[in-house]
Structure 1
Amino acid sequence: MDRSIARAVALLRAGKVVALPTETVYGLGADALNPIAVARIFALKGRPVDHPLIVHLPPDTPLQDWAADVPAAAHALAQAFWPGPLTLILARGPRVPKTVTGGQDTVALRVPDHPVALALLRAFGSGIAAPSANRFGHISPTTAAHVEAEFGDAISLILDGGPCQIGIESTIVDLSRGAPVVLRPGAITPQDISRLLGETTHLPGGTEPRTPGQLQRHYAPQTPAELIDCAALPARLAQLASQGLAVGVLAIGHGPADTGIALPNEPADYGRGLYAALRALDAQGHAHLLIEAPPQDEPWQAVNDRLRRAVTTVP
C-alpha cells in the first residue's frame, strides 16, 4: 500500500481529518461512522451543523449498507454513473449518524472517480464523509495548493492528486421522495438521468431535503463580483475604471490579458478552470470582479448555477 494512503487510513481510523482529491473538487474527509470525527469537519470549515455532508463510498459497496428503501432507480444510476460525479439522496440507513446528515432522515452518497480517492476508500473499507475542502461558502478547491492555502497545518494530511478533472461539484439527485429531482446540476445532466431512467427529472419544489451547495451565496470569492452580459461588459469595465477601481475580468474565450483571465468557450473546459480562475482573480487584490455571463443553454447549466451563487450582482 502506498505510504501516503496508509498514513491517511491510520489518521481516519484515529478520528482525524484528511484532505483528498476527487474528480470534482478536493474534499475534507473523516470516518462517516464516527460522529466525533465528522464534527471536526464542521469545526474546520465553519459549516452549520444542519448542512449535510456527502458520504463517499468504496466501489461496489451495497447501497443497503448506508440507505433504507433503496429504489430501483438508485441501483440503475449507480451502475451507470459510479464511479463518477453523481450524488444520490436516499433514505438514511439506521447506522448512519445524523451528524453526517444534518439531522435529516436522508443521506447523500456517491463513489468518486479519482484513482487516489478510490485507493483511499478501498484501503479504508468504509464511507468517508467529505464536503469540499474550503472554508464554508468560499471557492471550492481544485488543487492541493488551494487546500493548503485555506487550512495550512490545521489538516493532518493533504493527499495530492493533481488538478481536478471536472472542477465543479457533483450532480445531486434526490430519490427519497419518488420521482427523481435534480437538486444540484453538475457534469451529469438531467437529460442524462432522464434518458437512463426513462422518466423526466424534476426541479426542486420546496420540500426536498437540505443538500450541499444550495445556499443563495456559495462558491464565492472574497472580492465583490458581478455577472454581466458580454455586450455590457466593456462599458461597465470603463465605468468602474473611471471611478479609480481596480477591476478583474473573467471572460469567455477572449479578454484583455492585463485585466483578467479568459476561460475556454466550451462548458466542460470552462468548468474545469472556473474555481482556479476565481481564486487567482481574488488573490490579485482587485476592488471588483466582472464575470462575463455564459450562454444559458443546457450544457452550461452547472456552470451558471455556480456563478449565480458566487456573485453579488446578476444580470
Structure 2
Amino acid sequence: METQIFKPDQIEAAAALIKAGQLVSFPTETVYGLGADATNETAVKQVYAAKGRPSDNPLIVTVTGQAMVEQYAEPLSAKAQALIKAFWPGSLTLILNLQPGKLSKAVTGGLSTAAFRNPANQTTLALIQAAGVPIVGPSANTSGKPSPTLAQHVYHDLKGKIAGIVDDGPAQVGVESTILDLTADVPTILRPGAVTEEDLEPVIGTVRSTHHKVGKTEVPKAPGMKYKHYAPDAQVYIVDHESDWPAALAWAQAQDYPVGAMAIDPVLAANQLPANVEAYTLGPDLASASHRLFAGLRHFDLESPVKGILTQGFADTGLGAAYMNRLNKSAGQVHFQK
C-alpha cells in the first residue's frame, strides 16, 4: 500500500479515504493519531493490525464536539457538560457510558463505555466533519513505541500499512490527553495529561487520581493502562534529581557504548558531558520537557546509535504527573542508581 501525504488543504481527499474504510493519520495538539471510521468495525480492526496493538486495549473516539458525543453516549451528566464547556476542544478525554449497540466492541475493548475527545486542531476537526463520522484516534505509532509528534514519525512506523497521513506540522503539547473516567463514583484520572487535577476540581469538585495496574485478564478502561508504552530500543534510565547527574554521567563515561542524555538546558549547562554522551535538550523547563520528551526518544531511536538514555525526572505533581507517567512507562520503571 502506498501511504499518501496530505496537506491541510487536502482534507476532502483524506476524508474520502476514511469514508472508504481506510486508515489515515491525523494531527492533534498532543500527538498524531491513527484515524478510522469509528462506526466501521472492519476499519477499526485494521487499526489494531497496523499498530500491532492488543485488541483489549480500547480506542479513543475523536469527535467534533458535544453534539456528536450525544449520538453515541448516554445522556450527559451535569459534570460532563461542565467539563466539555470548560476544556473542549482540548487535551481532555472523557470516559462515558454508551447507548447500547452504538459502537462496536472493537472500539471499546468489549466494555460498555468509551473514551471521547474533541482535539484542539482545526485540521482534524475539518477531517471529521468532511468524513461525517467520529474517528478512532490512538497514537499513530507501532504499539509500544514513543508516540509520534511529527508526520515523519508516523511515516517511519506505518508507511505501507496505512492509506494516508495529514501533515500539519509538529504537535504543540507533546504528551497525550488527560483521560478522566466519569463512569466511576468519583471522577477518576486514568491517564494524566496537560489538563491536571488542579484544573479539573474547580469545575466539577473532587477528582481522584489512580495508578491502578491492570491485571493480565482485566480489560483496561483507557489506553496505556496495561501494556508497556513509549519505549525506544535503547534502555531509558530516569535520573531522579539534578544532583544525581554527575554520578549518572560518570556511569555513562565508563560504558563502552554511546549514551544519550535528555535534560533541560540548566542541567546540561551545569555538567560536563563525556565524549561518548550525546545531549538532547528538553528545553528550559518542565513545560518544554513535556513537549519534547517523545521527540527526544524518537531522535535516539531513529537517528543515534545509543544503547542507553539518561533522562531527567521531575516531581510527580501537576504537569509533572503527565511527564513522569510517560517517562516511567518508557523506562519500564528503571531509575538510575548511584
Q: TM-score, normalised by structure 2?
A: 0.88
Number of the residue aligned with 1:222: 233
> What is the count of residue pairs matched by the alignment?
314
Q: How far apart in 2 are the matches of 1:212 and 1:89?
A: 11
Counterpart amino acid of residue 78 in structure 2: A
Residue in 1 that maps onto 2:14 = 8
Of residues 247, 250, 272 in structure 1, which corresponds to 2:259? 247
Instruction: Report what 1:237 is aligned to.
Output: 249
- Among 153, 166, 170, which residue is 2:173 paired with? 166
Change (3 A) 1:216 1:49: closer
Counting only pairs closer than 5 Å after superposition, residues 17-32 of structure 1 correspond to structure 2 as 17-32=23-38
Report deviation, 1:96.
Answer: 1.0
Asked if 1 retains the 8 angstrom alpha-carbon contact of 2:59 and 2:136, the reply is yes
Q: Could you list the runs of 4 or more consecutive aligned residues of structure 1 that deviate by over 4 angstroms after TM superposition? A: 205-209
Query: Residues 233 and 205 (structure 1 numbering): CA distance in 2 closer, same or farther, change over 3 Å?
Result: closer
Q: Secondary structure at 2:67's aligned position in 1?
A: coil
Query: What is the CA–CA distance in structure 1 between the aligned matches of 2:104 and 2:71, rounded to whole Å?
Result: 13
Please give the secondary structure, in 2, of the residue aligned with 1:67. coil
**Distance in structure 1 (CA, Å) of the matches to 2:335 and 2:221:** 24
Alignment partners' CA distance in 2, 1:178 and 1:24: 28
Task: Summarize deviations over 1:264-309 as a string: whole Å, max 9, x none.
Answer: 2422222111111111122301111111212333231111111111
Partner in structure 1 of residue 278 of structure 2: 259
Deviation at 1:69, TM superposition (A): 4.3
Whole-angstrom distance in 2 between the partners of 1:144 and 1:80: 29
Picking from 275, 291, 305, the partner of 2:325 is 305
Distance (Å, rounded) in 1 between the aligned partners of 2:92 and 2:331 = 25
CA distance in 1, matches of 2:189, 2:150: 27
Greater mean deviation of Cα atoms: 163-172 or 269-278? 269-278
- Name the aligned partner's letter for residue 291 of structure 1: T
Q: Which residue of 1 aligns with 2:222?
A: 211
CA displacement at 1:60 relative to structure 2 = 4.3
Distance (Å, rounded) in 2 between the aligned partners of 1:251 and 1:62: 41
256-265 or 244-253, which moves further after superposition? 256-265
Structure-1 residue corresponding to 2:118: 111
User: 1:38 Cα deviation (Å)?
Assistant: 0.1
Cα shift readout 1:188-217 (whole Å, capped 9, x = no counterpart): 1111111111x2101238599521122363
Structure 1 gaps, min length 5: none
**CA distance in structure 1 between the aligned counterparts of 2:107 and 2:84, rounded to whole angstroms:** 21
**Is 1:314 aligned to residue 328 of structure 2?**
no
TM-score normalised by the chain length of structure 1: 0.94
Q: How does 1:273-312 map to 2 (within 5 A)?
A: 273-283=292-302, 284-312=304-332
Using a 3 Å threshold, how does the CA distance of structure 1 residues 205 and 28 change in structure 2: closer, same or farther? closer
Checking the alignment, whether the CA contact within 8 Å between 1:58 and 1:126 is kept in structure 2 is: no
> How do 1:97-176 residues align onto structure 2 when only pairs under 5 Å count?
97-176=104-183
Q: 1:64 to 1:209 in 2, by over 3 A?
A: farther
* Aligned-partner Cα distance in 1 for 2:311–2:68: 43
TM-superposed CA distance for 1:105, in Å, is 0.9
* Equivalent-residue separation in structure 1 for 2:262 and 2:292 (angstroms): 11
Paired residue secondary structure (1:137): coil
Aligned with 2:290 (options 271, 275, 288): 271
Q: CA deviation at 1:239?
A: 2.2
The letter of the residue matching 1:237 is L
- Residue by residue over 1:120-165, the C-alpha shift from the partner in whole angstroms, topping out at 9 and shown as x without a partner, is 1121222101100001111000010110011122211100010001
Secondary structure at the aligned position of 2:159 is classed as helix
Whole-Å Cα distance in 2 between the matches of residues 133 and 71 of structure 1?
31
Q: Name the SS for the 1:61 alignment partner.
A: helix
Output the CA distance in 1 between the equivalents of 2:211 and 2:285: 30
Distance 1:281 1:57 in 2: 33
**For the structure 1 residues 297 and 130, does the alpha-carbon distance in structure 2 shift closer, same or farther, using more than 3 Å as the test?**
closer
Q: 2: CA distance between counterparts of 1:241 and 1:52?
A: 42
Distance change >3 Å, CA 243–CA 166, structure 1 → 2? closer
The reply to whether residue 76 of structure 1 matches residue 82 of structure 2 is yes
Name the aligned partner's letter for residue 121 of structure 2: H
- Could you say which residue in structure 2 is the equivalent of 1:58? 64
1:266 partner letter: D
Query: Residue type matched to 1:289 in 2?
Result: I
* Matched position secondary structure for 1:281: helix
Distance (Å, rounded) in 1 between the aligned partners of 2:171 and 2:42: 29
- Identity %, equivalent residues: 40
Q: Which runs of 5+ in 2 are unaligned?
A: 1-7
Distance 1:122 1:63 in 2: 13
